[in-house]
Amino acid sequence: MKTGLYLFYHDLRLEDNQTLRRLSSQVDRLILAYCPLHTLTVPSRAIYNAREQGPARTEFVEQTLHHLGQALAPYHHSLCCIDNLKTLDELVGVHDITHLGVGHQHGWDERMALAHIKDRYKAIELIQDHDHTLFTLAQLPGPVDELPSTFSQFRKAVESELSVDEPLAAPTQLAPSVPVRQNLYLQDDASTSVLTPWFAQSAAHALENYFATEAPSRYKETRNALQGQHFSTALSPWLANGALSARLMLSKLRNYEAQHGANESTYWIYFELLWREYFQWLAIKQGKQLYCFAGANSAKPQTSFYAQRYQAWCQGNTPYALVNALMHELNTTGWMSNRGRQIVASCFVNELNLDWRYGAAYFERMLIDYDSASNYGNWQYIAGVGADPRGGRHFNLAKQQQQFDPDGEFISRWQGEASQSDIDYQDYTGWPQQGVTHE
């Protein structure tokens, strides 16, 4: 009797899931589990509690798991939960697991967790595929260790040489389920939701609803806005947790272009998917360097850590009204526009002179669309230690406010008035500064 165990993590879907299909076809019975892999090992980044997440991010994951559970019901399957090695050991031992399916990972902690699993269960056959990216490792134009040092080089290579496979439909059937004790119970209580209405829907509905509008045809003109209806695709949360595959999103984009015509804006959606793709493979190439202060470079940024400045930034209590409004939005909803992320990250690094890793870690805690590769890759980009030939980005905050919130509507909506208190009433160790008082 062959028994398979599938670990869902950043692939919370049935569509375009080659790993699940392969596992199900090779076993007589099947257990499906949600397993946040980073909880199985000691985190490599100890500057924060890796399991501590903001309420919006927690709710979004639970909501997605609820939708996945509904999709599994017709297959007579349900999800169980594995969030520690003891539970994993029990499932493997009690049910005599012979095959283990789990998608390839790009984050360092997740890759270390998989290496630990491989070593721990040597007799179990491991089944893996690349379900989180547009391309597989074998499709890349060269070895991942030789990945181009800039996005432009990568884009030119893949656009001229590669085509993206069509996404797979959901399987027609799965191997029979096995009853387990660790069933995942999720309370579906919308009355206490902190998610905005757009993010309170399923991935399938969000994908259909966006491409049912004309917004893709003007995406390039609106993508830098801070707010508004369909100014962004706003599909990144489902891409991040895998409820939506990048291949399926691209397929939907191509269908839209076939019906409505392709233009620079629809191309730019593909362009952004390629940026995401580049960061995924760059994370593989860099390994743990993705989370290091100097990144892949030898020169460290001229920044440090100031406890008061960091707390002021997190709480939206800085001297910069637009930054404060953006942080209030993040803390309330778990979301922020792409332009907003660049603005607050630039402020963090350049105005507050803080260690970029702490800003990246705070985003990790709060963002509903947190993706390890994209998050840390983008922060490296701003800090000048990543894939940016120009050595970082420093935004003029006054100019950004005038350009993207000239009437102060966004600042007013999110109560982003500039703080009048001294940003440095404590030094970098948290001790009060001489001659500065603070009530």
- Annotated binding site, which residues? 219, 232-236, 369-371
Instruction: Transcribe 320-336 into DSSP letters.
Output: -HHHHHHHHHHHHHS--
Sign of CA dihedral 97, 98, 103, 106: positive
Instruction: Transcribe 86-144 into DSSP letters.
Output: HHHHHHHHHTT--EEE-----SHHHHHHHHHHHHHTTTSEEE----SSSS-GGGSSS-G
Among residues 394, 399, 372, the alpha carbon closest in space to that of 383 is found at 394
Among residues 277, 236, 204, the alpha carbon closest in space to that of 367 is found at 236
Task: Give 43's contacts (C-beta < 8 A, 6+ positions apart).
Answer: 50, 109
Tokens matching residue 119: 């070593």
Among residues 119, 120, 127, 29, the alpha carbon closest in space to that of 76 is found at 29
Annotated binding site for FAD: 219, 232-236, 369-371
DSSP-based helix, strand, coil % in the chain, nearest 5: 50, 5, 45
Total residue count of the chain as it appears in this document = 439
Angle between helix axes 397-404 and 321-333 (nearest 10 degrees) is 70
Residues 20 and 121 sit within 8 Å (Cβ to Cβ): no
Beta-bridged to residue 4, according to DSSP, are 30, 99
Looking up tokens 């905050």, which residue turns up? 397
- What is the distance of C-alpha 18 from the center of its chain? 21
